[in-house]
Amino acid sequence: MGRHGGMVIVFVGWEFVSRRSGDTTMNGMRIAYITSGAAGMYCGSCMKDNTLAAALNARGHDAQLIPTYTPIRTDEDDVSQGRVFFGGINIFLEQKSWLFRQTPWFLDKLLNAPWMLRWVSRFAVRTQAQKLGGLTISMLQGAHGKQRKEVDKLVQYLRDDVKPDVIVLSNLLISGLVPQVKEALKVPIIGTLQGDDIYLEALHAKHRGPSIDLIRENARLMHGQLATSRYYADFMATYLGIPRDSIHVVHPGIKLKGIEPAKEVRRQPPYTIGYFARICKEKGFHQITEAFRLLRAQPGCPPCRLKISGWLGGNNVQYFEAEMAKLRDAGLAGDVEHVPSPDHAGKLEFLRSLDVLSVPTTYHEPKGLYVLEALAQGVPVVQPRHGSFPELLEMTGGGLLVEPDSPAALAVGLRQMLDDADLRERCAVNGQRAVHELFTAERMAASTVEVLRKLTATP
């Protein structure tokens, strides 16, 4: 992983000598980072986990990023392990039939092949959370659930191959493994809070309560939790009923490689308003399209266009097409551009082409990576006043906050940003400076190591 304050994190059990200036040889800490794939989608949590592992490696540490459910998908170099645990096919079949709870491991391994999981993910992404309540509860029951065999596989791998000194979970929805892993390995386990409530709220009420109860029970066995914002730490402490002082905030960070100095702020139209995130209701895509329609209907509105990009899953194609049809009906088809989900270089190019970004989520965002990515490029933002957005904009000075769930308020905020070039320039300069100082992958790695040292040193 990385080097911070004299601590070295390794997974392979030998003494590690860092080549960084001033570092010394010392016994390494072994760490296993268990992340979750998102059925082939670009997922903010697994992208953040991958960035963190890569940054820790770049600093001279050694991280083992272990995927569960499906392989992760990221627009950066994937540093995760090739083997997937709790493969989506196996856990689903084990939930449905006792027969698959008895199959030999070599057969399970075939169904866990990354290519197979990627192929099945094309269909799994359409599965609604409301239909997964029973599976969620069973997974949270761990060794007492229907997926005990999968827990055994991971325990064996951690015990015999990784031999970790500390384990980090990317979310608490996979915390069912905590009791058995802790008993078998007797090492500290730390959970990460970075969007668990979004999935839990999508469950049927009869499954949500028991799921939260199980998470709370599993969390008691952990040494602590990491959260991606102060807002989310406060919220989840209440939501899950876990002590707030057990939750430590480590803000997300992004890679700055490939990011150029901020461009000169455009002072004459036409301007470009951008949306870059997964194209779905939760991210508020319908709100940005309606806000753009309202904005263009305002008297004296400067010439502007809407540029859209991000992951578009098959389950959201109809929704996307319906929103685009509304813009065509409003006579705005010529002023809207859709750029299919790009690679990392394409993402940077897309963001750099914008004058302002807005992703008006309907849920309370715990991270906001797209905000940081835009600000890093010198692109100001207009965001709803909820979730982590007030915290991010307070720390960066990179944009405006507007009333949530209001396309009209969003249109006003966008108009203010377009009309005031000095405001855009201040937000661009302040935002880019703050991201380069406070929200880099290196800063995230150093802060993570600092918290891990603190938590694992606790008796």
- Domain 3-253+441-456 top-level CATH class: alpha beta
Q: Structure tokens of 430? A: 């302040």
- Same fold: 3-253+441-456 with 271-438: yes
Burial class (CB in 10 A: 0-12, 13-18, 19+), 324: middle
Taking CA atoms, 362 is separated from 205, 284, 285, 384, 430, in Å, by 20, 6, 9, 9, 26
How do the pLDDT tens digits run along the chain, 459 residues long?
Answer: 333 333 333 322 222 223 233 332 234 467 899 998 766 667 888 899 999 998 987 877 778 999 998 888 888 888 888 888 988 787 888 888 887 788 777 776 766 666 555 656 555 544 455 678 999 999 999 999 999 999 999 999 999 999 888 899 999 999 999 999 999 999 999 999 999 999 999 999 999 999 999 999 999 999 999 999 999 999 999 999 999 999 999 999 999 988 877 778 899 999 999 999 999 999 999 999 999 999 999 999 999 999 999 999 888 999 999 999 999 999 999 999 999 988 889 999 999 999 999 999 999 999 999 999 999 999 999 999 999 999 999 999 999 999 999 999 999 999 999 999 999 999 999 999 999 999 999 999 999 999 998 988 855
Q: What ranges do the domains of the chain cover? A: 3-253+441-456, 271-438
Q: What is the 3-state secondary structure (H, E, C) of the chain?
A: CCEECCEEECCCCCCECCCCCCCCCECCECEEEEEECCCCCCCHHHHHHHHHHHHHHHCCCCCEEEEECCCCCCCCCCCECCCCECCHHHHHHHHHCHHHHCCCHHHHHHHCCHHHHHHHHHHHCCCCHHHHHHHHHHHHCHHHCCCHHHHHHHHHHHHHHHCCCEEEECCHHHHHHHHHHHHHHCCCEEEEECCHHHHHHHCCHHHHHHHHHHHHHHHCCCCEEEECCHHHHHHHHHHHCCCHHHEEECCCCECCCCCCCCCCCCCCCCEEEEEECCCCCCCCHHHHHHHHHHHHHCCCCCCEEEEEEECCCHHHHHHHHHHHHHHHHCCCHHHEEEEECCCHHHHHHHHHCCCEECCCCCCCCCCCHHHHHHHHCCCCEEEECCCCHHHHHHHHCCEEEECCCCHHHHHHHHHHHHHCHHHHHHHHHHHHHHHHHHCEHHHHHHHHHHHHHHHHCCC
**pLDDT score at 113:** 65
pTM: 0.88
> Which CATH superfamily groups domain 271-438?
Glycogen Phosphorylase B; (3.40.50.2000)
